Structure 1
Amino acid sequence: MKVVLVTKHPRQEEREKHEQSVRAVRNSLESLGLDYGYIHRENLQSDLKNDVDWFVTVGGDGTVLETSHFAVEQPILGVNSNPTSSVGSLCVANSHDFKTVLQECLTGTLRATRVSRIQMNLNGKALKCLALNDLLVANANPAALTRCWLDTNQGEVLHKNSGLWISTACGSTAALVSSGGCVQSIEDRRIQWICREPFYAERKAPSGLHGFLEPGQILTIRSQMAEGRIYIDGSHRSEPFPEGAILRLTLSDSDLNLVMTPAMELRRQGLGRWRERNEIERRHESTAICRTGDAQK
């Protein structure tokens, strides 16, 4: 069995802990007699997947996300290299329990969970990578307005906002929920979207500010921006989205095999619910501040 160990270039303040975790994982792989390669995530290539049986990532969720773009059927086992500073919602192990978790995987005691991904078609061409967490459609300039036509199978509607989040169930506990979205269980096959900071002035709010895409349905987005961009699973991977470009999104037929435990999923959802409550409280607090300000005029 061939394992590829994927790691990252850590920030200066976490370098020592990260390197300790990498050494511990490598020692565990060697003690089990496993054949493995070692690569930084920036050097991952599409042809690598042909010679890999397993991916082991050492870092945080970002390293899992980056590696997922190169995984087809190969399972990914995420190791959180610094649990004190990294949430690691997609990481099933740390450097201390990695060997035990890997042995459970090899014996079949612990199996990978199939996690849905988003297929992207840009201007009639399918993009090679699949989104595991989310997409952000926005202006390349964060201070500029995002303008796009959104078609949710009920006709095109023009939207103006600071960006459009489109998320899988896996990514629903991340940026989407902080923008007012809903937490989904990992088994949920629907794609969720929400318009961030919508702008509609004196006119009626447009339809489709928030919704779900059922399996088999297509979400179509047409750019009305000179310099729009599509950010895929974070800031490292993006595509230009100029005026007139058309992006079609649907549930991919190719799920990701991610090693997870029930406790890990409960924690992921718990963190998401916490963010959900915080967002509701924040909005209530903002409303109260505005009303207090009006009363003091």
Structure 2
Amino acid sequence: MSGRMSENKIILIKRKTRLEELVVRYNTIQQAKFYIERLGADFSDYISEDHHYRKAVETAVIELSAIGRVQLLERQHVPNFIFGDEDTVVVLGQDGLVANTLKYLREQPLIGVNPDPQRWDGVLLPFTVKDLRLLLPEVFRGQRQVREVTLARAELNDGQSLYGVNDLFIGRKTHVSARYQLQLNDETEQQSSSGIIVSTGMGSTGWLKSVLAGATGIVRSAAGLQVDAEAEAVLGLAGSGQRLAWDHPHLYFTVREPFPSRTTSAGVVFGQIGAQQPLRITSQMPEDGVIFSDGVESDFLEFNSGVEATISLAEKRGRLVV
């Protein structure tokens, strides 16, 4: 092994399997099995998934240890972990774990690995464990292509911030009616809704697509109209299969279920956020106001009355090895 190879530090990120999470909840495998089988589910599937994932972790450690120094990191420790500038990060998927790791990096290259291709699909998991021994030296030498990913950023007026790889949610914990003031460019509105979704290019085929597809369908059914092509052409809706580029230079926001009343409006419910046009939201929620990203509700910023959030393009980008 060359000196250069031995100096490389590799952070291998893993998650708990469904079986491990059940054991944490029910204390033993036997009790977990009793619970699952009582519900009529196949417990052997949990055993099989756990076996394959553990084997993938074991193999990944062996393969990576032949190349550099390896540190194994559990998913729950990622938000508080300090990644070194020269670290290379390997995530043993699924896609959600890749996205939830990427937002905590400072542009270190991330390699998404599918631990069980027979079980999981993975847009962000182009590699298998067996690829690692040949792949990592190429990454160290800068011989692998890296795709940049635009991130979203929510910054509060108290200095706290949160990044999103796919999307941000701004609203109430329980997704009930949220009150706030929304400002985009010169337009300002008092709104009441079930929350605001802000999507990146990578996330444009996820939560945002779902909301916009529903709105498009309602308009077509109720009014018999040809809908403005922006949502469909730009965001690739209506089953076109298109998607925005991962490094798309804008974010898109949509207001879920806006409720117009004497004191609230529903005029600014969809729009584009660019480098020079951030979205500003001031909370009017006395409690349970939150901002979270990428579907992880446990990792959030409190967003209660008087707090202002500025939603913008992040100053950093994700870097995925392909």
| Residue in 1 that maps onto 2:59 | 24
Candidates 3, 7, 10, aligned match of 2:10: 3
Quote how far apart the aligned CAs of 1:27 are.
2.4
Candidates 279, 282, 301, aligned match of 1:239: 301
Query: What amino acid is the match of 2:267?
Result: S
Partner SS state of residue 169, structure 1: coil
Query: What amino acid is the match of 1:194?
Result: T
Cα displacement string for residues 45-100 of structure 1 (whole angstroms, at most 9, x for unaligned residues): 65621365200011212222232233113111111223444443222223344444
Equivalences for 1:162-241 in 2 at 5 Å?
162-180=194-212, 182=235, 183-200=243-260, 206-226=266-286, 227-235=288-296, 236-241=298-303
| Residue in 2 that maps onto 1:116 | 150
| Residue in 2 that maps onto 1:43 | 77
The answer as to whether partners of 1:218 and 1:249 remain within 8 angstroms in 2 is yes
Q: TM-score normalized by structure 2? A: 0.72
Partner SS state of residue 125, structure 1: coil
Cα displacement string for residues 115-134 of structure 1 (whole angstroms, at most 9, x for unaligned residues): 1112221124142x422221
| Residue in 1 that maps onto 2:193 | 161
Equivalences for 1:31-180 in 2 at 5 Å?
31=66, 33-44=67-78, 46=80, 48-50=82-84, 52-127=86-161, 129-142=162-175, 144-180=176-212
In structure 1, distance between residues paired with 2:290 and 2:55 = 37
The answer as to whether partners of 1:151 and 1:221 remain within 8 angstroms in 2 is yes
Q: Report sequence identity in percent.
A: 26
| Pair 1:84–1:162, CA change in 2 (3 A) | farther
Partner SS state of residue 20, structure 1: helix
Quote how far apart the aligned CAs of 1:30 are.
2.7
Query: What amino acid is the match of 1:170?
Result: M
The answer as to whether partners of 1:115 and 1:255 remain within 8 angstroms in 2 is yes
| Pair 1:231–1:85, CA change in 2 (3 A) | farther
The answer as to whether partners of 1:4 and 1:52 remain within 8 angstroms in 2 is no
Query: What amino acid is the match of 1:219?
Result: L
2:315 paired with 1:253: yes
Q: TM-score normalized by structure 1? A: 0.78
In structure 1, distance between residues paired with 2:256 and 2:119 = 27
Any stretches of 5+ residues in structure 1 without a counterpart? 261-297
Partner SS state of residue 164, structure 2: coil
Any stretches of 5+ residues in structure 2 without a counterpart? 1-7, 20-45, 213-230, 236-242
Quote how far apart the aligned CAs of 1:160 are.
2.1
Quote how far apart the aligned CAs of 1:29 are.
1.1
The answer as to whether partners of 1:148 and 1:224 remain within 8 angstroms in 2 is yes
In structure 2, distance between residues paired with 1:97 and 1:118 = 31
RMSD: 2.4
In structure 1, distance between residues paired with 2:92 and 2:193 = 36
Partner SS state of residue 49, structure 1: coil
The answer as to whether partners of 2:192 and 2:264 remain within 8 angstroms in 1 is no
In structure 1, distance between residues paired with 2:168 and 2:57 = 30
Between 61-70 and 144-153, report the one with greater CA deviation: 61-70
Query: What amino acid is the match of 2:169?
Result: L
